[in-house]
Amino acid sequence: MPKAVYYFTPCNLVIMSGYAALPPHKHCLLLAIYSNTKHITMRKLLFFWALSSLMACNQNKTNDPLAKATREDKNGWVYVHLEGSPADIGYQHGYLLANEIDTAIQSVAYAFDHETHKDWQFYRAAAKSFLWDKLDPEYKEEINGIVAGLQAKNKHYDSLDVTAYNAMEELGFYYVPSLMNAAKPGSGNNKAPGNCSAFIATGSFTKDGKIVMGHNNWTEYIWGQHWNVVADIVPTKGNHILMDCMPGFIHSGDDFLITNNGLLITETTITQFNRFDSTGVPEFMRARKAAQYANSIDDVVKIFTTGNNGGYANDWLIGDTKTNEVAKLELGLKDYRVWRSKDTAMIGSNFASDSTLIAQETTFNPKDSTTSPNVRRKRMEELVYIEMKGKLDAENGKIVEADHKDALAGKNANNRCVICGHIEEDPLGCKEWDNPPYYPMGAVQGKVTTADLAKDMKFWAHMGHPCGEDFVGSKFYVLHPQFAWMGKYLQTMKAYPWTLFEAKPAAVKG
pLDDT tens for the chain, residues 1 to 510:
333 333 333 333 333 323 233 333 333 333 333 334 455 555 555 455 545 554 544 444 458 999 999 999 999 999 999 999 999 999 999 999 999 999 999 999 999 999 999 999 999 999 999 999 999 999 999 999 999 999 999 999 999 999 999 999 999 999 999 998 776 765 566 678 888 999 999 999 999 999 999 999 999 999 999 999 999 999 999 999 999 999 999 999 999 999 999 999 999 999 999 999 999 999 999 999 999 999 999 999 999 999 999 999 999 999 999 999 999 999 999 999 999 999 999 999 999 999 999 999 999 999 999 999 999 999 999 999 999 999 999 999 999 999 999 999 999 999 999 999 999 999 999 999 999 999 999 999 999 999 999 999 999 999 999 999 999 999 999 999 999 999 999 999 999 999 999 999 988 543
Mapped onto helix, strand or coil, the DSSP state of residue 249 is: coil
97: nearest Cα among 235, 246, 209, 201: 246
Q: Does the reported pTM lie above 0.95?
A: no
Backbone angles phi, psi at 487, to 5 degrees: -60, -20
Residue 81 DSSP SS3: strand
Q: What is the DSSP string of 4-55?
A: EEEEEETTEEEEEETTEEEPPP-------EETT---HHHHHHHHHHHHHHHH
Sheet with 345-348, strands from edge to edge, namely 345-348, 197-201, 212-220, 441-450, 458-463, 499-502
Q: Are 201 and 344 in contact (CB under 8 A)?
A: yes
Measured between alpha carbons, how far apart are the two ends of the chain, in Å? Answer: 51
Q: How far apart are CA 279 and CA 78, in angstroms?
A: 35
Q: How many CB atoms lie within 10 A of CB 402?
A: 22
d(CA 128, CA 42): 49
Nearest to 263 by CA among 449, 90, 388, 79: 449
Cα–Cα dist 439/447, whole Å: 24
Beta strands in 365-496 (DSSP E): 405-406, 411-412, 441-450, 458-463, 471-472, 492-493
Q: How far apart are CA 442 and CA 472, in angstroms?
A: 14
Domains of the chain plus CATH, in order, are 4-62 (no CATH), 71-84+188-502 (3.60.60.30)
